[in-house]
Structure formats: C-alpha cells, structure tokens
Structure 1
Amino acid sequence: MSRIATTPGLLPSPVAPDDGGGGPTPVVAADSAVRDAHLAAQRDADLDRVVEGQAGWWDGIVHPLVAHDNVARGPLAHSTAVARGVYRRPVVAGPLTFDGGLGADLAAVADRTASLQAVVPGPYTLSTLATDDHYGDPAEFQAAIAAFLADELAALPDAVATVFVLEPSLIAAPPGDGADERASDAIDTVAAAVTDADVVVHTYGGALDEKVHAHLLDAAIDAVGYDLIADHEDAAYLVGEYGTADSIALGVANARTPAVDAPATLRERVDWFDDRTPNDFATVYTTTDSVLATLPQSRLVAQLRALGAATTPQS
C-alpha cells in the first residue's frame, strides 16, 4: 500500500489588495505571488502531490463556473459545501461552452513540479450550488455541467498525475432516488475525460448515504475520499460493508480549525481505518478533511508539514 500526501486544494487566498491609490492591485499579479508561495510551501512540506493552489478562485469551489462568460454572480447564498459557508450563487444564463480556464491555471505551474494534482469541483456539487436560467431541466443542467468539466479536464497539461474531484454536496445535500444515479453518471462523464491521471472523488462534511455511496462506486473512478474527522465510524462502516474503489483518500487532518495534529496522529488515523476495513488498497491519499481556504497562512504551513511528515517512512 502506497501512502501519498496531498490536499484537496483551495489554499487560502488573500482579499484582493488595494494599491494605495484607490484601485485594486491587478488580480493576476496577486494570484501569481500567492501561487508561488503555495508551491514553495508544498515543496518544503514534501507533499507527494502538489496543487496549483487556486489562488485566483475568489469565489471558492464555484469559481470555474463563475468564471465562464455565460455565468453571472448572483445573490449571497449559504451552504455547508462551501468553505466559509457563504458564497455568491452562480447564475447560468447561457450554454456552458469550453473556456480553458482550468488548463491555463495548471499550465502556469506544469514545468515547476513533477507531481502535479488538478482540483475541480464535482458536477453534482456545482449543480446544487448554482442557479439554472438556461437549460430548464435539472437533469439536463447537471449533464451540461458535467460535459463542461469534462471538456476542461480533457485540456489539462500532460504533467497532471492526479485529479481531485470535490463533491461535498453529496453529503451536504444528498441526491434522492434517481438523482443519485444521475449524479454518478455525471461524475463518470467527468472521470472519463481524464485518461492519463488517477481520479479521486473527495467527499467531506460527514459520511455518504449508503445508496449514494453505492451509486458513486459505479462511476469509473480510481478512489473515493472519506472524511475521518467528521465521521470516521460511518466511513469505516461503508467501506467494510459495501467496499470501495481500489484506492482511497482519507481526510485525516482537520482543515477547519487552526489546530494542527502531529504527524503520528495522522498516521494513526490511517492505520485505524486500515485495521477496520478488509480492503487491500493500492494507494491511500493522506489528506485533509476539506479544502484549506479558511486556514491562516502560518497554520497552513504547519498543516502541510504534518501531512508530508505523516507519509515519511518511519525507521
């Protein structure tokens, strides 16, 4: 069993600064500086997979949708699937055509690491966090989001080794009968676009409903992520009772609090899960329970170092 230290991305980004003359500093310059700092922090922590950091994702997990020309920022909305709980709801007013934003972000760092990991919001989560003013049917809307994400992922640089698909709404707003199967189909569409990297669907905020979990396993993905901070017992039950993919991601570090657990504690949580499930996992992605957007910078660095140390072989 290989243990890989990584994160689900969305590392903390500062509020767009003021240049002292009444106008904001160009966002691209701010993004570049924060991206450099994020890459350096991950390298220093010896993470096995490195994310671009999503410094330009000012709208959090919904950013790839909001950045589209046919999507507007709507009113403030609340969801536990969003790091800070509050976000600007995307309003889709036209067709979700390819725009290349995800690929462009990753291309900016592709030659700076040999272990690049892409981060993308899942199609089900985006469909629950957005408003449809164009497609007119929930199933068609979700399928359109999945096709949009698939096109974006198909254009990723070859350097990408892993793709984390973030699906917190599978727990925060679980799909009901019929909708759970459609959510799995949408995730499968996204995963099918990735041909040369492992696809991890990371869920967090609790444990998956049994039926939702079963349908998720029907998608052609390489790993499912389980939040051991929010609900370790039910996560172990799901895997022990119903199985999972060949590999797994375990959220063993708490990204929602400034407290940082010791590397030994993170290792013990992985060992605990391994002892209580019958699977012989090919890879365990050792990661945080959720995205890291709310951590202060000093705690971010400490959290990354703990994750890196947790997968270092012990003598």
Structure 2
Amino acid sequence: MTQVIATTPGLFPLPDWAKDELADLKGHQKTDLISGDESDEIVAAYDEAREEVISIQQDAGLDRVVEGQLRWDDMLAHPLAVHDSVETKGIVRYYDNNNFYREPVVQGDLGADGGDVAADLGAAADHVDSGLQAVLPGPYSLADLATDEYYGDDAEFLDAIADFLVEEVKSFPDVETLFLLEPSLVENAPADGEDERAADAIDAVASAADAEVVAHTYWGAIEEKAYAHLMDAGVDAIGFDLVANHDQTVYNVQEYGTKDDVALGVVDGQNTLVESPETIRDRIDWFEQQTNTAYDTVYATANTETFYLPVNKFEDKLKALANAADLEAAEA
C-alpha cells in the first residue's frame, strides 16, 4: 500500500509582519539586499519568522517540515550568493516570471564556505522533533543560475558546484528527506553530453546525504533524454510537476520507468485557488493508474516553491496537502 507523505519544496512566503519589519531593518528593497551579513536584529527577526512557519507546518499536519528558506532573497541562487568567492551583480529575472535575483558571479574557488544552509537547518532542528526536511538547489540548476568567471569550462564548473553542495550536505544536522530542486532541467534542458553530467552531479550530491533524496523538477516535463539519464542518478525519488505538464510526465514514466518512490506536484504553488484534499488524492490516484504502478512512497507536494502565494493561501494549501495524506491513510 502506497504511503503518502505531505510535504513542500520550501521557499515560503515571509509572514506579513516579518516582511514589513525586515524591510525597515534592512532599509531598502528586498531585491537589493546583501544576504549572509545580517545584524543581530535581522537575525532575530528571521529566527522568529522561521519558528512561525515551522509551527504553521506542524499545525497543518505536514509529514515533513522544512526550514522555510525565508532568508533566500536570491531564491535558488542563495547558497552561492553568500559564498566568499562569489560576487553578486545585476538583477536577473528568475526563470520566466516576475521574480528576480542578484546574479551570482563565481570569481574564485568554490570550497566549503561555512555551511550557510546547514546553520539554518540546525536552527530549525531545535523546533522539530521528527520529519525535518532539507531543501537545496540541485547542482544543474544552481550552475544554470550562476555565471562562471573562474573555472572556464562548463563541465568543471558543474563539478565544482556539485562539490560545493556535497560539502554543504555533509554539514547538515540529521534530516529525513532532502529535496534537490531542479527546475532548470525543464526550463533550460541540458544538451547532449551535458544531460549525463547533470545526472552525475545530482548523484554526487545525493550520495553525500544520509537521508531520502528527491530530485524535484517543475515548470513542465523533462525532455526524454535528460529524464533517461536522471534515472541513473542515485536518488530515491524523482519529482514531477503534474500541474504544468502531466501528459509528457506520464509518457516519460511509461517509457523509461521511475524510482520506487515519487514526488508529485499536485498543488499549484503559483495560483491562489486552493485544491481540495479530494482533488489532491484524485491526482495521485490518476498518476498511479496511468503509470500502472503502486509506489512505495508518494511525496505529495506543491509543484513549485510557494513564495508566490499570499500567506493565507499558502497556509490553506499546506492544510489541504496534509488532509489529502490523511484521506489516503484512512482508506488504506
């Protein structure tokens, strides 16, 4: 019988009070902020906001709880943006939407740099007894969002990004799950040869984790060849965006198979319409029927990051995911 685990890919919207308070503390607009060098007052505000979003997840009944990534002003680029060997430059559009980030330009060696993500996870662990989930950009997406002015070779740069993420993962506290977010596999599909290197990089990061690892893709379906290579990576589950493109996703799984576990983006992380638990359950059932497989575990999740949502809709969607998992359990 399939186990349904309610979770999210993280990157939550800031609570309204925190948005206002942090804007005042930082003194200028969010897109101009210099992450990673905050005052004690800013650190305290983020700590309070983190505790709040952890409580929201726990009250909703999610099976996996994330730190929230509230400090990630540069979204998936954040782990690089705070690295000593990286200079953040002009504002760049974040994929094809109305969000922006500062371009991280790598100008030196990407050695281990203090474990910024690990430190936030450690702070979250103080408030989570079980079910802590880590979130990182996948190596291919992080390399895609960055500019290389040091390594001079795409393959070497991707390897360096992967090595950097491996060191970050090694600094993590105990977590049950790691979501590697890889929208660039869809948005900027790797070319021949690069697709295999992308899968190898994902495999390297996943191998460093003492946790169940999900390579979560979204904003569409992965091209066939890239998907076939991703299947070779040592991840426990591949995540699929059923909101943006369910037909091609199903075709890929029918043609190339998938892991024993899957993550299904069954809630729209960019739309304020709140799905019912029954709708979420129907989408999970539909995927299992179309792929003719009863999976060991289904991670029921939002398809994308959720920072696009108003806080009240964000909370409602978390509750819907948790209630959908409870419906599955009741029927088991």
Looking at structure 2, the residues matched to 224 and 79 of structure 1 have their Cα atoms a distance apart, in angstroms, of 23
Alignment partner of 1:157 is 2:173? yes
Aligned equivalent of 1:17, options 14, 23, 48: 23
Residues 181-226 of structure 1: per-residue CA shift (max 9 Å, x gap): 01011101101101x2100000000001000000001111100000
Alignment partner of 1:132 is 2:138? no
Contact 2:181–2:217 (8 Å) recurs in 1 = yes
Residue of structure 2 equivalent to 1:198: 212
Alignment partner of 1:255 is 2:256? no
Higher helix share: 2
Looking at structure 1, the residues matched to 295 and 266 of structure 2 have their Cα atoms a distance apart, in angstroms, of 16
Residue of structure 2 equivalent to 1:288: 302
Cα offset, 1:17, TM superposition: 2.2
The 3-state SS of whatever aligns with 1:18 is helix
Looking at structure 1, the residues matched to 302 and 159 of structure 2 have their Cα atoms a distance apart, in angstroms, of 29
TM-score by length of 2: 0.90
Could you list the runs of 5+ residues in structure 1 that have no partner in the other structure? none
Contact 1:254–1:290 (8 Å) recurs in 2 = yes
Residue of structure 2 equivalent to 1:50: 65
The 3-state SS of whatever aligns with 1:199 is strand
Residues 49-81 of structure 1: per-residue CA shift (max 9 Å, x gap): 000001111111110110111111111222427
Structural mapping, 1:68-83, within 5 Å = 68-80=83-95
More displaced stretch, 83-92 vs 147-156: 83-92
Could you list the runs of 5+ residues in structure 2 that have no partner in the other structure? 30-37
Contact 1:163–1:199 (8 Å) recurs in 2 = yes
Cα offset, 1:32, TM superposition: 1.0
Cα offset, 1:314, TM superposition: 3.3
The 3-state SS of whatever aligns with 1:109 is helix
Cα offset, 1:262, TM superposition: 0.7
Alignment partner of 1:91 is 2:105? yes
Aligned equivalent of 2:242, options 228, 240, 256: 228
Residue of structure 1 equivalent to 2:9: 8
Equivalenced residue count is: 312
The 3-state SS of whatever aligns with 1:112 is coil
The 3-state SS of whatever aligns with 1:314 is helix
Looking at structure 1, the residues matched to 217 and 99 of structure 2 have their Cα atoms a distance apart, in angstroms, of 16
Looking at structure 2, the residues matched to 259 and 52 of structure 1 have their Cα atoms a distance apart, in angstroms, of 24
Aligned equivalent of 1:119, options 135, 157, 179: 135
Contact 2:93–2:100 (8 Å) recurs in 1 = yes
TM-score by length of 1: 0.95
More displaced stretch, 16-25 vs 39-48: 16-25
Residue of structure 2 equivalent to 1:171: 186
Residues 25-47 of structure 1: per-residue CA shift (max 9 Å, x gap): 83212211210111011001100
Cα offset, 1:19, TM superposition: 4.8
Alignment partner of 1:211 is 2:225? yes
Cα offset, 1:111, TM superposition: 3.1
Contact 1:27–1:56 (8 Å) recurs in 2 = no
Cα offset, 1:179, TM superposition: 0.4
Residue of structure 2 equivalent to 1:66: 81
Residue of structure 2 equivalent to 1:299: 313
Looking at structure 2, the residues matched to 297 and 140 of structure 1 have their Cα atoms a distance apart, in angstroms, of 40
Cα offset, 1:300, TM superposition: 0.9
Contact 1:12–1:294 (8 Å) recurs in 2 = yes
The 3-state SS of whatever aligns with 1:229 is coil
Alignment partner of 1:32 is 2:47? yes
User: What letter matches 1:143 in structure 2?
Assistant: D
Contact 1:243–1:279 (8 Å) recurs in 2 = no
Looking at structure 2, the residues matched to 257 and 161 of structure 1 have their Cα atoms a distance apart, in angstroms, of 29
